[in-house]
């Protein structure tokens, strides 16, 4: 009969502890009828030989709960039957428990959850709420329902005080209101006086203080087109000369340029009065509407003019380039044909301009003609329904180059007292005199004053005497800025056409007749100024003056 394997029973019988695996084998051997004595002998040999771990001084080995497999180096046992599996000869020992199993399935469990985390410190909470954590706190709690409570906290420090209302609900709380104390604003204003700021230089200040004001990039397309058209008209003479010299640099064009130069020198197209090169299509192009709207310019009529008579329009003042005269009488941008139907007007300019290659073709196509005596007589005595100049008109800028030297902004100084040649021409041709006053012509450019720079003025008069034209030292704005350049300022031009002064034709008028007509013309011009100066020249610096 096999011995018991229970450790307590074997201890009472003074038997050594029995290995669990060998006990199973002994039971199998007892059943099979063999192997019990052999196994028992080996068991005693292993235990008494001290090969096991955990044996005490009394030779007793204590059982443990986890089995360990230890290789003893013994010979493998023979198979007892064919169906019995071969088992390696290992010594199994129990180790100390490494965990304490709980539950039905004897599996290790995760450690129990810790208690709820402690709420963040008051200092951290106040820092997250935007309150200085270094301020001292005085709290007053008011109880509520279901464990809720509300508290009012006052944070006080050396130089500030704030009041906070908080609602508590269990482990959560929320801020109801946060406001400064009553004396907070007073203390803040006092701090600003006691601790003023010292700032460095402002970035971009030099750009803002610059004397040049640059145009922004977000300019409407229409204004850009207006600038382009005015720039073209301002530089058209320089562009014509440049194109001519560029063509002269190419030998291929020499056979064409030589005859063209001879034609320009001997041509009478500008003085014949036939206006054969005039193009109504070119004068009515929409681009000239852009030119007039740049300032903007406007043409005004005081009285209707019958198309059965001839007219000489006297334009005042000359200004620098006479942009108003070109817009009103050199193009149809301001509607001259609608205001004065049946009248064909021709703007006159210096005869030297028609000797400039390329540019002269442009001027003739726009209907311009020479201001010479021959040209004026031919235009007013040829053409029209009766072939004697009826319905014809010419526009003369009476002041000329001398008046351009007195063109100062917000002033009107006219060189007119001794200018009587156009009056004599009107009497000889039988043309009525029509005064035209342009408000704003002198305002679109700045130039050196005659009073402050007399030396420059004398030099300009010398150039005019020798060459027939003058060089005004002017400036205005640029294409991309508002302070430096040759582009005119965007200031309104109002061209007012006054009533006509009736003239009786005389082939050889006397000086008395000329003076009388001239005085009547000046009187009508002064009347125009008095009637419309408050409407069209409110920023004037002085009244109109008539010089020499």
82 pLDDT exceeds 70?
A: no
pLDDT tens readout for residues 507-525: 999 999 999 999 999 999 9
Residue 183 has a pLDDT of 75
From 239-253, 348-362, 438-452, the region with the lowest mean pLDDT: 438-452
Out of 36-50, 107-121, 205-219, the most confident range is: 205-219
The pLDDT tens digits for 101-123 are 444 455 555 555 555 455 555 55
pLDDT score, position 182: 67
In whole angstroms, what is the distance from residue 517 CA to residue 501 CA?
Answer: 8
Q: Residue 99: its pLDDT value, please?
A: 47
pLDDT score, position 149: 59
pLDDT score for 42: 45
Place of tokens 């000239």: 288
Task: Considering only residues 166 and 417, tell me which one the structure prediction assigns the higher pLDDT.
Answer: 417
User: Is the pLDDT confidence value at 222 over 80?
Assistant: yes
Span 202-231, average pLDDT:
83
For the residues 480-506, what does the mean pLDDT come to?
A: 93
| Res 511: pLDDT | 94
- pLDDT at res. 64: 44
- 165: pLDDT strictly greater than 60: yes
Residue 33, pLDDT above cutoff 60: no
Structure-block tokens of residue 168: 């508590």
Compute the distance between CA of residue 232 and CA of residue 238 in angstroms, rounded to an integer: 10
What is the tens place of the pLDDT at every residue in 181-192? Answer: 667 778 778 888
* 135 or 452: which leads in pLDDT: 452
pLDDT above 70 covers a percentage of the chain that reads 67
> Rounded CA gap, 101 and 114, in Å?
20
Mean pLDDT of all residues in 241-263: 93
pLDDT of the residue at 454: 80
**DSSP β-ladder status, 392-397 and 344-349:** parallel
What is the predicted pLDDT for the residue at 203?
75
CB 494 within 8 A of CB 512: no
Q: Would the pLDDT of 546 be above 70?
A: yes
Helices then strands (H, E): number in the chain? Answer: 19, 17
Q: What is the pLDDT of residue 144?
A: 47
Give the pLDDT of residue 43: 45
The C-alpha atoms of residue 401 and residue 69 are separated, in whole angstroms, by 126
Please tell me the predicted confidence (pLDDT) of residue 185.
76
95 phi/psi in degrees, rounded to 5: -100, 170
Tell me how far apart the terminal alpha carbons of the chain are, to the nearest angstrom.
Answer: 160
pTM of the predicted model, to two decimals? Answer: 0.63
Average pLDDT over residues 171-196: 72
Q: What's the mean pLDDT in 28-34?
A: 47
User: Cα(93)–Cα(349) distance, rounded to whole angstroms?
Assistant: 129
Query: Residue 287 above 50 pLDDT?
Result: yes
Mean pLDDT of 159-163: 53
Check residue 208 and give its pLDDT: 67
Confidence at residue 378, expressed as pLDDT on a 0 to 100 scale: 94
The string of pLDDT tens digits covering residues 93-103 is 555 554 454 44
CA atoms of 284 and 399, how far apart (whole Å): 28
- The whole-number average pLDDT for the span 6-35 is 60
Between 104 and 485, whose confidence is greater? 485
* Range 529-548 average pLDDT: 92
Q: For residue range 121-157, what is the model confidence (pLDDT) as tens digits?
A: 555 455 545 555 554 555 554 444 445 556 665 555 5
Under a CB-based contact definition with an 8 Å cutoff, are residues 499 and 306 in contact? no
Instruction: Calculate Rg over the CA atoms of the chain.
Output: 58
The set of residues, in sequence order, having a beta carbon less than 8 Å from that of 161 and lying 6+ positions away, is 154, 155, 180, 181, 183, 184
- The answer to whether residue 547 scores a pLDDT higher than 50 is yes
The reported pLDDT for the residue numbered 119 is 52
Question: Does the pLDDT of residue 505 top 50, yes or no?
Answer: yes
Mean pLDDT rounded to a whole number for the chain: 78
Q: Is the pLDDT of residue 178 over 70?
A: no
């Amino acid at each position: 009969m096999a011995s018991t394997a229970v450790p307590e029973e074997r201890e009472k019988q003074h038997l050594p502890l029995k290995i669990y695996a060998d006990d199973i084998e002994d039971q199998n051997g007892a059943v099979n009828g063999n192997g019990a004595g052999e196994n028992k002998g080996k068991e005693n040999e292993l235990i008494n030989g001290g090969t096991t771990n955990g044996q005490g001084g009394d030779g007793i080995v204590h059982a443990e709960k986890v089995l360990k497999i230890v290789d003893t180096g013994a010979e493998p046992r023979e198979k007892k039957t064919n169906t019995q599996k071969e088992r390696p000869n290992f010594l199994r020992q129990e180790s100390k428990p490494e965990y304490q199993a709980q539950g039905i399935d004897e599996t290790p469990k995760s450690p129990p959850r810790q208690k709820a985390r402690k709420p963040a410190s008051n200092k951290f909470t106040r820092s997250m709420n935007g309150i200085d954590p270094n301020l001292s706190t005085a709290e007053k709690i008011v109880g509520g329902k279901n464990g809720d409570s509300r508290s009012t906290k006052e944070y006080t420090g050396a130089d500030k005080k704030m009041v906070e209302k908080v609602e508590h609900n269990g482990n959560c709380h929320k801020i109801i209101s946060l406001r400064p104390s009553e004396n907070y604003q007073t203390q803040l204003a006092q701090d600003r006086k006691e601790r003023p700021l010292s700032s460095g230089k402002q970035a971009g200040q030099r750009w803002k203080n610059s004397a040049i004001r640059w145009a922004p990039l977000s300019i409407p397309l229409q204004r850009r087109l207006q600038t382009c058209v005015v720039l073209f008209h301002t530089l058209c003479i320089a562009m014509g000369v440049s194109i001519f010299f560029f063509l002269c640099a190419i030998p291929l064009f020499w056979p064409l340029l030589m005859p063209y130069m001879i034609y320009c020198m001997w041509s009478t197209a500008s003085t014949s009065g036939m206006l054969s090169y005039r193009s109504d299509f070119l004068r009515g192009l929409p681009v000239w509407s852009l030119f007039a709207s740049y300032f903007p310019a406007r043409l005004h009529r005081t009285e209707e003019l019958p198309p059965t008579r001839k007219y000489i329009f006297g334009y005042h003042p000359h200004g620098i380039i006479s942009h108003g005269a070109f817009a009103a009488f050199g193009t149809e941008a301001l509607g001259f044909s609608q205001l004065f139907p049946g009248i064909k007007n021709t703007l006159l300019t210096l005869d030297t301009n028609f000797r400039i290659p390329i540019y002269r073709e442009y001027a003739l196509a726009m209907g311009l003609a020479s201001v010479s005596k021959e040209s004026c007589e031919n235009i007013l005595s040829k053409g029209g329904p009766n072939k004697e100049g009826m319905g014809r008109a010419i526009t003369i800028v009476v002041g000329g180059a001398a008046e351009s030297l007195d063109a100062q902004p917000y002033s009107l100084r006219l060189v007119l007292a001794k200018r009587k040649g156009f009056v004599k021409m009107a009497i000889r041709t039988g043309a009525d005199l029509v005064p035209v006053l342009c408000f704003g012509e002198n305002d679109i450019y700045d130039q050196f004053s005659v009073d402050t720079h007399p030396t420059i003025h004398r030099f300009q008069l010398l150039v005019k005497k020798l060459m027939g034209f003058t060089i005004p030292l002017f400036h205005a704005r640029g294409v991309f800025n508002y302070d430096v350049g040759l582009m005119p300022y965007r200031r309104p031009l109002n061209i007012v056409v006054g009533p006509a002064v009736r003239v009786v034709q005389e082939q050889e008028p006397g000086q008395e007749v000329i003076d009388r007509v001239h005085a009547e013309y000046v009187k009508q011009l002064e009347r125009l100024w008095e009637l419309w100066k408050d409407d069209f020249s409110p920023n004037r610096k002085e009244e109109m003056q008539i010089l020499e």
